[in-house]
């Protein structure tokens, strides 16, 4: 389908003797490597010219931390794996980390990643009209990991699995280059799958909504042999749904299976696989914005009742996803742990549709383009690492060392009927899209692409003193992007970007003011390769820059309630912008600064009360007005709230009440969407420990708004008022 996917690009600068470019940070990490378990002897020059022998190193067990959120009943997560390769305390992490727990997803009835991220502090979750979305934080796009394995180009504008297969959604805002690799500085999302449990557990969800949709989920898990060393899990989802806009509907079937086997009490192999199929009918990319007569400036918008489908009913698409995953973990007696993950995913998308644009007249006339597409994607990812504690100089430190590799191979075939000239009768009314004919549109463009990213990384948590911890990270990064034309003619492969031996450091300091409160400061560099070229034919150098962040975190009430206050500034250089003198070529002239404030409160102020609240202030400054530096969908102020109270005693025992809101200031893609707020409410009743029902009213005041305002192409309405009934069983 139509995408605006940013592709990885390159800088063709030869790198030699990278070890000669090691920074003090890298040298510090290499020093920590010497503190691996066992007797360590280091040769070093002392004033007398002799050898220095370090004392024997001992290690302690640190495997008790568990980041799993399922069955906790809480919105608060004490640990996350996204900032390192093992569970780390969020309070002791010098970066902004949010976790959407299983309880949050269940309470809000989230079924897609788009819905889950919409309620994460500082994240913009923007629908694209075809079952996909794009996601931004701190003025840039987000990357993705699956169970901690980074996957290149695996999130934006792509369909994802139903959320029923995931335990939690972790989000790190800001550069994540050390663990994740090259990418935009917005942050990274880590989707963590549900694992088999050691006791039998069966849950079901049945949902019916006022749009006419029905969804059924079944999740069963438990031991598969007598001693419990073999455990399994299966999740099945079936859905037939109608969209908020007229005539749009979709179906979905998802199956997920997982097996854990303990070879020994310390060695576990986890295997999982998933299948998801999503056909859509009457899909709508929305109306384009109204243009002036000279086709240069966007003004106003085409009026509509916020349920208008601007595309013909014959529009359709089909997406299927298959994936397999394997994780081998060994826990040493010393407290160290090794983990190796292999990941594979295949996706097929087919679509045949018409969409409006560029632009429209004031009375709603627009060109329509017919598009025929077939895309395939294959992702492979691998990550291996060791991590553990080190006793050195009277303190306990933690070290993680690893390497990862990710490759994305894609094929794209497309056919297009031009909107620039006569087109089967010319323009059509946006309010009568079924008049647009379905014409034969053979494939006439084809491209293969292969993007590879790999690197080695290390992270050390060094205890400087009882209240102070220094967190150092480093990565040596490699990126390559290549493309090949297959239609209308077959060409050789072209290297669009090549980045070798790029050193990405990070550093943070954590101060435990009191046991429940920490203050932190951090610095991280990022690198995002670009594929655009200049008029001379040279490649555009990578985007690069750094983030500075300071904040205060707390974890009170025994870890049930977490808070975070963060100030950040991101300096972003070398963004590719349009060359004003040469159409279709670019300059590395874009400079941007994103800075702001984030506030977050999450957890249980009282045992029966869960709450999640987040506020973000974002200020974006661009050194020039070159187009392409932003898509205009980053609001300056963004507030999110969801809360639920379960009555456990008295006459209201068994009842629950909840609700939330999302409010943001104006955004613009040419057509402006003014500030708006959406309110939701929920009431539920637990009949017994096995059965609960909730009734949820979304968009209470039926606010009409754009999630994605019109530009020259595309716009997406937010859902109008709707009601959802959910019946959940638990055995």
Structure tokens at 235: 């999740």
Q: Mean pLDDT over residues 439-451, rounded?
A: 93
| Residue pair 654/687 in contact by the 8 Å Cβ criterion | yes
Q: How far is CA 284 from CA 52, 244, 256, 287, 668, in A?
A: 70, 11, 29, 9, 20
What is the number of other CB atoms lying within 10 angstroms of the CB of residue 308? 18
Would the pLDDT of 49 be above 90? Answer: no
| pLDDT for res 31 | 40
Q: In the chain, what are the domain boundaries?
A: 79-193, 201-730
Of residues 14 and 276, which shows the higher confidence score?
Answer: 276
Rg (CA), the chain: 26
Q: Which residue has the tokens 């040298």?
A: 27
Instruction: Give the separation between CA 391 and CA 398, rounded to whole angstroms.
Output: 9
Architecture (CATH level 2) of domain 201-730: Beta Barrel (2.40)
**79-193: what fold?**
Ferric Hydroxamate Uptake Protein; Chain A, domain 1 (2.170.130)
Whole-angstrom distance, CA of residue 251 vs CA of residue 522: 45
The answer to whether residue 56 scores a pLDDT higher than 90 is no
The string of DSSP codes covering 419-483 is SSS--TTS-EETT-GGGS--------EEEEEEEEEEEEEEEEEEEEETTEEEEEEEEEEEEEEEE
Amino acid 39: pLDDT: 33
Q: β-pairing, 365-366 with 428-429?
A: antiparallel
How far from 530 is each of 198, 381, 526, 578, 727, CA to CA, in Å? Answer: 47, 21, 13, 13, 48
Q: Give the per-residue pLDDT at 437.
A: 87
pLDDT at 53: 40
Instruction: Place 5 in a pLDDT band, splitting at 50, 70 and 90.
Output: very low
Confidence grade of residue 290 (pLDDT, cut at 50, 70, 90)? confident
More confident residue, 426 or 573: 573
* Whether this model's pTM surpasses 0.85: yes
Least confident of 126-135, 338-347, 417-426: 417-426
Determine the Cα–Cα distance for residues 301 and 731; give it in Å rounded to an integer: 52
pLDDT higher than threshold 90 for residue 445: yes
User: Look-up: residue for tokens 């009943």?
Assistant: 73
Per-residue pLDDT band for 142 (boundaries 50, 70, 90) equals very high
Q: Tokens for 312?
A: 């013909």
87 close to 337: Cβ distance less than 8 angstroms = no
Q: Which of 155-164, 203-212, 385-394 has the lowest mean pLDDT?
A: 385-394
89-111 average pLDDT score: 96
Omega into 270 within 30° of 0, i.e. cis?
no
- How far apart CA 135 and CA 127 sit, in angstroms, is 9
pLDDT of residue 24 exceeding 60, the answer is: no
Query: What is the mean predicted confidence (pLDDT) over 635-641?
Result: 97
- Return the pLDDT at 137: 96
What value does the mean pLDDT of the chain take?
Answer: 87
| Residues in CB range of 468: below 8 A, 6 or more apart | 509, 510, 511, 512
Give the whole-angstrom CA distance, residue 636 versus residue 122: 10
DSSP line for 547-572: EEEEEEEEEETTTTEEEEEEEEEEEE
Query: What confidence category does residue 129 fall into, taking pLDDT thresholds of 50, 70 and 90?
Result: confident
């Amino acid at each position: 389908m139509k995408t605006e996917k940013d592709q990885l690009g390159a800088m063709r600068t030869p790198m030699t003797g990278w070890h000669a470019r090691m920074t003090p940070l890298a040298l510090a990490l290499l020093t920590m490597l010497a503190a691996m378990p066992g007797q360590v002897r280091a040769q070093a020059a002392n004033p007398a010219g002799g050898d220095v022998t370090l004392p024997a190193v001992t290690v302690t067990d640190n495997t008790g931390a568990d980041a799993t959120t399922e069955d906790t009943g809480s919105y608060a997560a004490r640990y996350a794996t996204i900032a390192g390769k093992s569970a780390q305390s969020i309070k002791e992490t010098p970066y902004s980390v949010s976790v959407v727990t299983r309880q949050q997803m269940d309470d809000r009835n989230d079924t897609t990643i788009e819905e889950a991220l919409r309620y994460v502090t500082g994240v913009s979750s923007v629908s694209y009209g075809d079952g996909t979305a794009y996601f931004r934080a701190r003025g840039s796009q987000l990357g993705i990991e699956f169970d901690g394995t980074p996957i290149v180009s695996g999130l934006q504008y792509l369909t994802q699995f139903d959320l029923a297969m995931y335990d939690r959604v972790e989000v790190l805002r800001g550069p994540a280059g050390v663990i994740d690799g090259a990418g935009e500085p917005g942050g990274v999302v880590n989707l963590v799958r549900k694992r088999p449990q050691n006791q039998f557990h069966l849950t079901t969800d049945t949902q019916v909504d006022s749009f006419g949709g029905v969804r059924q989920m079944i999740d069963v898990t438990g031991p598969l042999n007598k001693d419990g060393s073999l455990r399994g899990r299966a999740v099945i989802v079936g859905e037939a749904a109608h969209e908020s806009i007229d005539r749009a509907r979709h179906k979905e079937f998802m199956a997920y299976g997982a097996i854990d086997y303990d070879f020994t009490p310390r060695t576990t192999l986890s295997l999982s696989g998933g299948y998801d199929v999503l056909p859509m009918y009457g899909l709508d990319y929305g109306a384009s914005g109204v243009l002036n007569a000279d086709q240069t400036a966007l003004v106003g918008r085409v009026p509509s009742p916020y349920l208008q489908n601007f595309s013909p009913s014959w529009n359709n698409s089909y997406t299927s996803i298959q994936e397999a995953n394997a994780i081998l973990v060994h826990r040493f007696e010393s407290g160290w742990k090794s983990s190796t993950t292999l990941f594979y995913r295949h996706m097929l998308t087919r679509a045949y549709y018409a969409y409006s644009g560029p632009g429209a007249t004031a009375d709603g006339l627009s060109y329509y383009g017919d598009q025929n597409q077939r895309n395939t994607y294959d992702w492979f990812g691998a990550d291996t690492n060791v991590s553990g504690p080190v006793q050195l100089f009277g303190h306990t430190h933690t070290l993680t060392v690893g390497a990862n590799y990710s490759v994305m191979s894609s094929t794209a075939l497309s056919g297009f009927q031009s909107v620039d000239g006569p087109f089967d009768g010319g323009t059509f009314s946006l309010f009568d899209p079924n008049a647009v004919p379905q014409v034969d549109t053979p494939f006439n463009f084809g491209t293969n692409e292969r993007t590879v990213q790999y690197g080695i990384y290390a992270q050390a948590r060094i205890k400087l003193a009882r209240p102070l911890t220094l967190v150092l990270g480093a990565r040596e990064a490699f990126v390559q992007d290549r493309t090949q034309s297959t239609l209308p003619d077959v060409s050789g492969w072209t290297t669009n970007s090549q980045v070798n031996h790029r050193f990405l450091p990070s550093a943070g300091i954590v101060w435990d003011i009191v046991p429940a409160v920490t203050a932190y400061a951090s610095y991280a560099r990022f690198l995002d390769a670009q594929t655009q070229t200049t008029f001379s034919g040279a490649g555009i150098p990578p985007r690069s820059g750094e983030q500075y962040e300071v904040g205060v975190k707390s974890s009170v009430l025994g870890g049930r309630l977490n808070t975070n206050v963060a100030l950040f500034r991101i300096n972003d250089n070398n963004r590719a912008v349009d060359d004003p003198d040469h159409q279709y070529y670019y300059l590395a002239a874009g400079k941007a600064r994103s800075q702001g404030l984030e506030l977050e409160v999450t957890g249980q102020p009282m045992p029966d009360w869960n709450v999640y609240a987040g506020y973000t202030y974002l200020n974006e400054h661009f050194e020039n007005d070159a187009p392409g530096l932003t898509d205009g969908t980053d609001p300056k102020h963004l507030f999110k709230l969801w809360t639920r109270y379960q009555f456990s005693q008295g006459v209201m025992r068994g009842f629950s009440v909840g609700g939330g809101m999302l409010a943001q200031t104006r955004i613009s893609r040419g057509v402006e969407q003014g500030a708006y707020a959406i309110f939701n409410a929920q009431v539920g009743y637990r009949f017994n420990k096995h059965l609960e029902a909730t009734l949820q009213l979304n968009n209470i005041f039926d606010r009409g708004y754009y999630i994605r305002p019109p530009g020259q192409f595309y716009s997406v309405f937010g859902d109008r008022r709707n009601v959802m009934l959910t019946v959940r069983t638990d055995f």
